[in-house]
Structure 1
Amino acid sequence: MPRLPSRRVRPARRTPAALSGLLLLCLVVTGCSSSGSGDDPEATPAPAGSADSADSAGPAPGGASGAATAAPGTPAVSRTTRIQGAGGDVEVGFVELRVDGRLVQLDLLFTPRYAADPGKEISLYEMAGRRDAAVSLVDTANLLRYTVVKDSDGAALGAAAGTTRTRNNVAVPASFAFAAPPPEVTAVDVYLNDRLIVDDAPITR
């Protein structure tokens, strides 16, 4: 039986339209896989208390970077204000005003933000403008001012201006105890000497 001549199989010829489609597909796949600068496709959350938070977590020496730091376990603030200290700006953060029995405890955070780092610890006395850092609560509805209560020895139940110290850009907590306002009072103003530092601070009961 005679052998049939074999046919050479010609490769399929891709049309320009098909080549364009393949090229477009490659570009789309490449763009999706290369988007983003990191290996992890998920966004990494920012550390607690960075930039605009009142104070950052993690201890670090004060420096010229201007980033506030705080010791581990330092509470977060709900609002902040800036005052003028003896050596520059001071950030005051409001943490809480909580009733405990017949007393109410005010928790604040003080962070010196001096442009020039003094290279030493800064006291609350200096942050208050070289004044005694007298903190008080003002009930504007009943026109009453509450001052820090004292114990039987006459010692004020609050942070001492001379011994409460920190370094530049490092937050330091300060607590003060007052007689608790009556239950119908839900908010008060907080003053440092003659400066209003927290307006309508809510009272937690």
Structure 2
Amino acid sequence: MSSQFFSKKQWIFDRWAPFYDIFFTTVFYQAIHKRLLEYVDLPEQASILDLGCGTGRLLNRLAHQNLTLQGTGLDLSQEMLKQANINNQYPSRLTFVEGNAETMPFADNKFDAVFNTISFLHYPNPITVLSEVHRILRPEGKFYLVDYTIRWDDEPKIIGISSGSLHIYSPTVREKLGQQVGLTCVKHQYLLGAIMLTIFSK
């Protein structure tokens, strides 16, 4: 099931990629990224991952703000990665890799921080993804999860769409999911409307 799910998602985002920035990043994501950057705390020469990086806009913004940062973007869509490489303003410090969030091609304890923006709601197996995030984070590393949220419900809200379903998690459920894999919730912060940042620590 997961294989078919990810293949379908890849097909959709491959076709979306050439127009993605026109419709979204210029206004919506730009506003979210601006707010997110206010809460990001990275060490010098940080090594970070943007999981579900899309066209790479967040990594470029983080690299602009942190001049010694080394960043990697991971995405399922080859076409999104093609756009990310075209948009790459810091090719000596930013690289983009194709891969699946459930089986990431990285060594244990590799990254100081992992970012995930409006992507977690697509994942059918959130615990598997969070386990991978925990594995690749260094001790005391941070996971910055940015996504739609709902009120303090104890169950996720599932929205059916043509490509599968979207899973929207309350702050309480986010905390519980993190606890299951050894990630501790540090902070919740609304960024824009129903978009909430949750910061986890390993």
Give TM class, smaller chain.
Answer: under 0.3
Q: TM-score, normalised by structure 2?
A: 0.27
Q: Greater helix share, 1 or 2?
A: 2
Q: Report which of the two structures shows the higher radius of gyration computed on alpha carbons.
A: 1
